[in-house]
Amino acid sequence: MLRPILTFPDPFLLRKAAPVAVVDERIRDLVRDMFETMYSASGVGLAAPQIGVGKRVIVVDVSPVETEIAPMGLVNPVIVEREGMVEGTEGCLSVPGVEGIVPRAESVLVRALDPQGQPVRIRAEGLLSRALQHEIDHLDGILFIDRISAAAAPAR
């Protein structure tokens, strides 16, 4: 089911999302809806708070650029390691029409559950690393515009 994407300055985007206690059919339905919504908006990632759901769930699909990486839905993702630093251009489905240069870790190790509730560990670099960091930020109420220079960011 296609869901509306909240846009800045909606205050829901600034809330910290709650951990998922049980990965059940409702969470799997949420993940499916999030993929459908993300693809419809031509995005590479989406976090549950962006569709008004205060749960720690993200979806990411960088396969149009990094063809060897499969789409992924992650529940309760946590960055457990960060290495290096690199700047890159980002945009966001919740901040349409705005792009900015954002510093991010060059590579990350993420621990999460998959949509079946099984533990996964993902070592990521490149676009996948950036997308995971961007979406996990959403779970903490952080928008990419919070990480770009004040001169380039829209007023909060």
Active site residues per annotation: 135
Rounded Cα distance between 76 and 131, Å, is 15
Residue 28's nearest CA partner among 54, 71, 57 is 57
Q: What is the CA radius of gyration of the chain?
A: 14
Bridge partners (DSSP) listed for residue 57: 75
Residues sharing a CB contact under 8 Å with residue 26, sequence separation 6 or more, in sequence order: none
DSSP label of 44 = S
DSSP label of 16 = P
Bridge partners (DSSP) listed for residue 55: 18
